[in-house]
Each structure stands twice: as structure tokens, then as C-alpha cells.
């Protein structure tokens, strides 16, 4: 079934679209790398195949948001253990905070999810183990009014993918392909 570069390119798009939509997909929580050699797991929220654009949600105060800012290299690593397929994406990331896309993402969330952006910023120091949330917000679904201040901290990370690397571990022989935009080539695994 993986016979042509077109098959592989289509497979990448299908997997990324599904990874965003399906919480059970092994690719739903990829590793996102920044150029400062830091890595973290994030939930993939959307893949727009036409624009080759990945969307993640994050806290504007987080170190990665500062590192990426208005534009910086970002890598995204996804692995499906069952199907033995690794997809590596490299591209240009940017943090958005006050665009219509951010508002749409915020509006689509629940107050329970929005609550995560109410507390101390990621990495804030504490004298004791902490969730970072104010005491009153622990374990509850806040009201629209209570959650309003969290909007200031909510941001999206968009990654415009420039190149994909696809690797299939098969006992009949591994396969690997790379794509710069839509232009593909076979390479040794």
C-alpha cells in the first residue's frame, strides 16, 4: 500500500488530520521541539492539510511561547507504535494571542479547559507542590465570568510545516521518504 511517494504524502496528511481529531490516536500528543534544544509533549488540536499548518494551544507566559514568539524553527515528532510509523515535521512556528484564530479556539473550549490558564504561568516557582491554580478554582468548572481573566494567558502555537520525514519500520524492509513541501524523495532509513 506504500508504493509511491504520492501514497506516502497522502498517508502523512491522513495521519495528522486524524491525530488532531482522535484523542485515542497515538499521534494525538506529539513532542514539540524548539531551537533551544527543549522538548515537550503537546496536544495536537488541528492539522490543516492544505496549508500544512499544525495548531496547538498553550500559555502565553510559557517559556516556549517566549522562545518561539513571532517566528522561530519548530520540530514536531509523532510516532504510531502499533503501525510502526514515525513522522517528523520541521517548520516555522509562531505564537498568536489576539487573532481571530485564537478567539475561535478559545470559544470552542469548555470552562474546565479554560481554567488551566487561570493560575500561575508555567514554570512559576512555588514553595510547595502546586497545580498553580487559585484555591477556589481547584476541582470545579468555573463560570464564564470566573474564567474570563484566563483569556489573557491563552495563546495558540501555529507551525507551518516546510518538510516531512516519514519512516516505516517493516520486517520486510524499512521504508523512508522525505518531502520538502510537496516535492518528495526516497531515502535510506
Write out the binding residues for ligand FMN, residues 62-81 only, by CB under 6 A: 62-64
183 Cβ contact list (under 8 Å, min separation 6): none
Alpha-helix runs per DSSP H in 77-162: 100-108, 111-114, 144-147
For ligand FMN, which is the closer residue by CB, 36 or 183? 36
**What is the dihedral sign for C-alpha 94, 156, 160, 43?**
positive
Residues 182 and 173: beta-carbon distance below 8 Å = no
Q: Positive or negative CA dihedral for 175, 179, 183, 185?
A: negative
For ligand FMN, the closer of residues 5 and 31 by Cβ is 31
41 binds ligand FMN (CB under 6 A): yes
> Binding of ligand FMN at residue 9 (CB under 6 A)?
no
Candidates 56, 106, 164, 179: give the one binding ligand FMN (CB under 6 A).
Answer: 56
Cβ 81 to ligand FMN shortest distance, Å: 15
List the helix and strand counts (H, then E) for the chain: 5, 9
We find the least distance from the C-beta atom of residue 61 to ligand FMN, in angstroms, to be: 9
Among residues 122, 162, 167, 169, which is the contact residue for ligand FMN, using CB under 6 A? 122
Please state the closest distance from residue 82 (CB atom) to ligand FMN, in A.
18
Non-local CB neighbours of 113 within 8 Å, separated by 6+ positions: none
DSSP reduced 3-state for 105: helix
Q: To which residue does cell 502546586 refer?
A: 130
Interacting stretch for ligand FMN, rule CB under 6 A, among 36-44, 138-146, 161-169, 170-178? Answer: 36-44
From the list 18, 40, 151, 162, which residue makes contact with ligand FMN (rule: CB under 6 A)?
A: 40
User: From the CB of 44, what's the least distance to ligand FMN, in Å?
Assistant: 8
Contact residues for ligand FMN (CB under 6 A)? 29, 38, 40-43, 56-59, 62-64, 122-123
Amino acid at each position: 500500500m506504500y508504493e509511491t511517494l504520492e501514497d506516502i504524502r497522502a498517508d502523512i496528511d491522513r495521519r495528522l488530520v486524524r491525530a488532531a481529531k482522535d484523542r485515542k490516536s497515538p499521534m494525538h500528543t506529539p513532542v514539540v521541539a524548539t531551537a533551544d534544544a527543549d522538548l515537550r509533549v503537546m496536544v495536537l488540536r488541528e492539522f490543516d492539510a492544505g496549508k500544512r499548518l499544525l495548531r496547538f494551544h498553550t500559555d502565553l507566559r510559557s517559556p516556549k511561547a517566549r522562545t518561539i514568539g513571532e517566528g522561530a524553527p519548530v520540530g514536531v515528532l509523532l510516532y504510531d507504535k502499533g503501525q510502526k510509523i514515525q513522522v517528523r515535521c520541521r517548520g516555522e512556528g509562531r505564537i498568536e494571542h489576539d487573532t481571530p484564530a485564537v478567539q475561535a479556539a478559545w470559544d470552542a473550549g469548555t470552562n474546565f479547559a479554560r481554567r488551566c490558564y487561570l493560575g500561575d504561568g508555567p514554570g512559576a516557582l512555588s514553595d510547595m507542590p502546586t497545580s498553580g491554580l487559585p484555591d477556589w478554582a481547584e476541582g470545579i468548572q468555573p463560570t464564564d465570568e470566573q474564567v474570563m481573566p484566563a483569556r489573557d494567558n491563552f495563546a495558540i502555537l501555529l507551525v507551518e510545516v516546510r518538510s516531512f520525514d516519514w519512516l516505516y519500520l517493516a520486517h520486510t524492509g524499512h521504508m523512508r521518504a522525505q518531502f520538502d513541501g510537496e516535492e518528495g524523495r526516497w531515502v535510506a532509513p
